[in-house]
């Protein structure tokens, strides 16, 4: 028996997130079905994290225990052939038997995409939150700079969180704009349920003048969800990188 680390990418539009659940099809369910067809036996895949319904991933990692002699390149090609077009296997490597895709991760980087335009772009609609009003990138970055560091992010998480410890360390958070495309990038040692989407919603509220960036410390300290911004739509969020 060996343990392999799979790296996959997927368009999350048609999935109810990563983890298997009774009320809709998930990426984990589809991947495990493909593994079963490839290996001829029921095989589980343990992910590096959960992703919300509709969220995408450019680099999602999971570990799989299997008993086979398939070369890694052949494993990638064989499993890819069993998967739909919106899920791709991009890497496969053998790891130590005690390696864990979630608990060995040192951090993750997420990217959130905003289309700052009055005109709809049908080719970006699935992957961008479109905002017509002009965004103030300087104000958004002022807010982002204030959440960098170790903080209790309770106010930036939804009630569906499954952990009691809401302290996380944000290593970087910044906003860039190129033409009409705005990107918020954030790296942390871990993330709470809906944390990135609420941070994005709050950054937009700061841009709109609804929240003063100087109130960020107060929002963190008071730990009241209603003091932060809205939860941005899932479709603009991408898991960009898992750090080991």
- List the catalytic residues: 52
Dmax over Cα atoms in the chain, in whole Å? 59
What is the SS3 string spanning the chain? CEEEEEEEEECCCCCCCCCCECCECCHHHHHHHHHHHHHCCCCCCEECCCCCCCCEEEEEEEEEEECCCCCHHHHHHHHHHCCCCCEEEEEEEEECCCCCCCCCCCEEEEEEEEEECCCCCCCCCCCCEEECCCCCHHHHHHHHHHHCEEEECHHHCCCCCCCCCCEEEEEEEEEEEECCEEEEEEEECCCCCCHHHHHHHHHHHHHCCCCCHHHHHHHHHHCCHHHCCCCCCHHHEEEEEEEC
204 Cα distance to chain centroid: 19
Cα–Cα distance measured from residue 165 to residue 182, given in angstroms and rounded to the nearest whole number: 31
Neighbours of 123 (CB within 10 A): 7
């Amino acid at each position: 028996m060996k343990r392999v680390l799979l790296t996959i990418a997927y368009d999350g539009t048609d999935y109810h997130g990563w983890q298997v659940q009774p009320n809709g099809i998930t990426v984990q369910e589809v991947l495990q079905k493909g593994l079963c067809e490839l290996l001829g036996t029921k095989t589980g895949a343990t992910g590096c994290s959960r992703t919300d319904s509709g969220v995408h991933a450019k680099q999602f990692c999971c570990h799989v225990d299997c008993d086979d002699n398939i070369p890694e390149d052949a494993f990638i090609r064989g499993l890819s052939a069993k998967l739909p077009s919106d899920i791709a296997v991009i890497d496969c490597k053998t790891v130590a038997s005690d390696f864990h895709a979630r608990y060995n991760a040192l951090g993750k980087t997420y990217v959130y995409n905003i289309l700052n335009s009055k005109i709809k772009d049908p080719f970006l609609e699935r992957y961008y939150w479109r905002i017509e009003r002009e965004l103030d990138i300087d104000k958004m970055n002022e807010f982002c700079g204030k959440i960098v560091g170790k903080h209790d992010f309770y106010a930036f998480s939804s009630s569906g969180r499954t952990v009691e410890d809401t302290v996380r360390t944000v290593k970087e958070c910044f906003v860039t704009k190129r033409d009409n495309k705005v990107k918020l990038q954030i790296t942390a040692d871990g993330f709470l349920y809906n944390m990135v989407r609420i941070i994005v919603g709050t950054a937009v509220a700061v841009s709109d003048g609804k929240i003063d960036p100087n109130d960020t410390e107060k929002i963190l300290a008071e730990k009241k969800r209603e003091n932060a911004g809205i939860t941005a739509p899932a479709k603009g969020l991408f898991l960009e990188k898992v750090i080991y």
